Amino acid sequence: MEITQRDEFVCQDYHDGKDIHELSRTHGLSERRISQILTANGVTRRPRNITQKKPLSREHARLGLYLYTFRLEKGFDVYDAANDLGWSRIKLRKIEKGVKEVELLDVMDISAYTQTPIEELLGKFNGS
């Protein structure tokens, strides 16, 4: 697969610190397409810095970070992950950031998605 000049600019801008949303606006592409370009070119995605976010609690932050890290390590796109969970992309992002209340059904979805028993997941959620 040949890398285009546009793709080179996208990758360089990402390396220079722009986030996917900024790249989307700058290059006139969807966030999903930006993500595909970065993945196709082997660009390592930056983990989000949770200290800049205001999670509802430490437990929400832990669960969100666990879900985010799982998705990132598996190389799953946010759109595909949200679809697999049966959630919207916005709901997934909010839970990953720890800024959305989590219901029992959400915990069950996360457990099934990550193939982590609920007891173990709740242990992570509570900091055990």
Distance CA 48, CA 87 (A): 20
Distance CA 93, CA 55 (A): 12
**Residue 124 or residue 30, greater confidence:** 30
56-87, pLDDT tens digit by residue? 888 888 898 899 999 999 989 888 999 999 99
72-127, pLDDT tens digit by residue? 999 898 889 999 999 988 899 989 988 888 898 999 999 999 999 988 888 766 65
Q: What is the pTM of this model?
A: 0.57
* Residue range 18-36: mean pLDDT, rounded: 87
Distances (CA, A) of 98 to 42, 56, 91, 93: 28, 6, 10, 9
Q: Which residues contact 46 (CB under 8 A, 6 or more apart)?
A: none
